[in-house]
A and B are shown apart, each in its own frame.
Chain A
């Protein structure tokens, strides 16, 4: 399995040029090539959503994407949403509402919610729960996550 391919991607605003094997998963690329270990993998078969990132602004499963597929594209990960010292808005809402326990699923939820806040109505709990149903959290039972999203959606107001 040799024959590496050159790619250039922007991740959280920084650009990277790397040579990768065609079979390398985007999740492995982010975690092990770029050292951005905030993106997690829980299943590597597209079900759990832990690996969710934003690809050109829309949520995507990095475990179902090859690094070579994202050549020339823009990626955002949880590391780009705020820092330890200054959390981003979605991250703060998670802390205020205790929307995380072990924190393993959390980066995926944060990226999904960031996308949903831009593209989904989120006006009722039903819509919120629907929007979250592509991400699995084994710890929280979702209620505190729903509370966080409800607050964020209220703050955002109706979808433009």
Chain B
């Protein structure tokens, strides 16, 4: 048997416990049931939900929420949640880790672009004049106004309201 010492970073695990959904990482008993159904694991050797949970149990902060972490390869398919016998909800633990990476500013730059619309406009997709035209052509009703002020009030922060972006992705 190797005498290599294993250290566990409980401070990191405590932090993970406090993020919504993170606490369930404690229940993982490393059975690999999640791996068998994981499409990301099927298509790349670089991703394995059991190993992510193992790293969480060991508190390996850098590996999990440092730059280029494998957590971003998860497809969000919920197969692991379906299968896990321990109610770990692996995907939810992974999303909790993503939240921590966002806070550390190590998330892929693409994520900002893909998620910033909602806080600014209340919808995830940029509203283009092309889509308004298409709706008209199909005889669909006008788009409803989005209560963005209410949204910003409950989010508790002033996200800049920049509507001039509206036409940017317009083709």
* A and B assemble together: no
